[in-house]
Amino acid sequence: MRQSPSARFFLVAGLLVVLGLALWAVYPEAGATSGAGSGAAQAGAGSQPAPAQGADAPTYEVFPAGTGSEGQKQLPEGQQLAKYRVENGVKVFELTALPVKWSTGDKEHEAWTFNGTVPGPQIRVKEGDRVRVIVKNKLPEPTVVHWHGMHVTNAMDGVPMVTQDPIPPGGEFVYEFVAKPSGTHMYHTHFNVLKQEGKGLFGTLIVEPREPEPWSYDKEYSLMIADGELGYTINGKSFPHTVPIKLKVGETARFRLMNIGNQIHPMHLHGFDFKIIAKDGRPLPQPMEANTLDLMPGDTADVLVTFDRPGTWAWHCHVISHVEDSKGNMMGLIQIIQVEE
C-alpha cells in the first residue's frame, strides 16, 4: 500500500529516533561539551542583554526526540549566549578553539569548536559597544578568528599572514573592536578554512541596534547552516535531530539565517511567505516577500514570518542532495516549525 507523505515522514523519523536512541545508549556523552562549553550553555542570565525585544524565552523541544542537544534541551545550539565580563567599560569575551566529540544526531564526529559547541556561543552586543575577545587555541594546528560583517580596524580582521600571524597551538590572541554595524553577523576561523569551518569552528554574532527597529516580532531564532565534515547541519544538527521550533498560531518570528557553509543553500519555507528585512545585517530599504531564499556561502539574512495556521511545517534547503540521502531518507538541512493553536 502506498503511504502518504506524512506517514512516510513519521516512519522515517521514527526509525531514525530509534537509531538515535541506540547511539545515545552507546555514546552517552554525545553532544555533551567540555567544561568551557557547558559553561557557555548556561550563559544567558545575569548581565546578558535580552535575547529579543518583548520576547518570551524561545521554547524548544527535541523533535522527534532526536539525540540532538543532550544536556541543554532548553538552550539549543546557536542560541546559547557567550558570557562576558565588563572591564573598564569593555565587554570581554573568551573563546577557546578546542576539539570535542560532537553528535550531529545521526553521527559522531570530532568537531573543532569555539567553547565546545557547534556553533559556538552567540556573541550578542549593542551597537557601539567596545568588545574584546580573548581567543585561545587548543587545536592541534594554528587558527585565527574573522569577524564576518563587522567594520573592525584592519589589524583585528583575522586574516593569517595578511593582518596577523596565525595563533599557534597553545597560543592566544586578543581581538578588540567597536561593535558596528548592527545586525546579523558571524565569527569564524580564517585558517585552513575548508577543514576548520567544515569541522564546526564558527558562531553567531548579533549586534543589536541603538535605535529601535521598524518591525516587531514575538520570538527570535538563529539558524546557522553549514556543510562540510559534519555533514549538512542547522545549528550543529542534521535532520531529524535539528531542534524544532515551537510557536503559537498568530505569532511572528524573526529568523536570522546564516550560511557558514561552502555551498549554496536555497532555503524554502512550506506554507508561508516570509518577509526579508535585512541582508548581511543591513536593513533592506524595501522588504521583500518570498518563500525561498538563496543563501550564498557567507550570506546572512533576516526574515519575519507570521504563522497564521497550525501545523508541522518544513523549512528546508531545496538542493535535494542536501536533504535526502542516497536511499531517499530525509536528512540534513531541514528545520521543523511546529505551530500550535
Q: Which residues bind Cu ion (CB under 5 A)?
A: 265, 317, 319, 322
Closest to Cu ion by CB, 109 vs 316, is: 316
- What is the C-alpha separation between 206 and 211, in angstroms, rounded? 15
Indicate the residue among 153 and 321 with the shorter CB distance to Cu ion.
Answer: 321
Q: In angstroms, what is the minimal distance from the CB of 276 to Cu ion?
A: 18
Residue 336: CB minimum distance to Cu ion, A = 16
Nearest approach in angstroms of CB 231 to Cu ion is 11
Give 13 or 331: the residue with its C-beta nearer to Cu ion: 331
| Cβ proximity to Cu ion, 3 vs 292, nearer residue | 292
CB of 340 to Cu ion, least distance (A): 28
In angstroms, give the least distance from the CB of 284 to Cu ion: 23
Q: How far, in Å, are 236, 277, 283 from residue 120 at the CA level?
A: 10, 25, 25
43's grid cell: 550563559
Amino acid at 44: G
Using CA atoms, how far residue 95 sits from 115, 198, 202, 269, in Å, is 6, 18, 11, 34
**Cβ proximity to Cu ion, 192 vs 242, nearer residue:** 242
What would the 3-class secondary structure string for 66-130 be?
CCCCCCCCCCCCCCCECCCEEECCEEEEEEEEEEEEEECCCCEEEEEEECCECCEEEEEEECCCE
Residues in contact with 285: Cβ distance below 8 Å, sequence separation at least 6, in sequence order: none
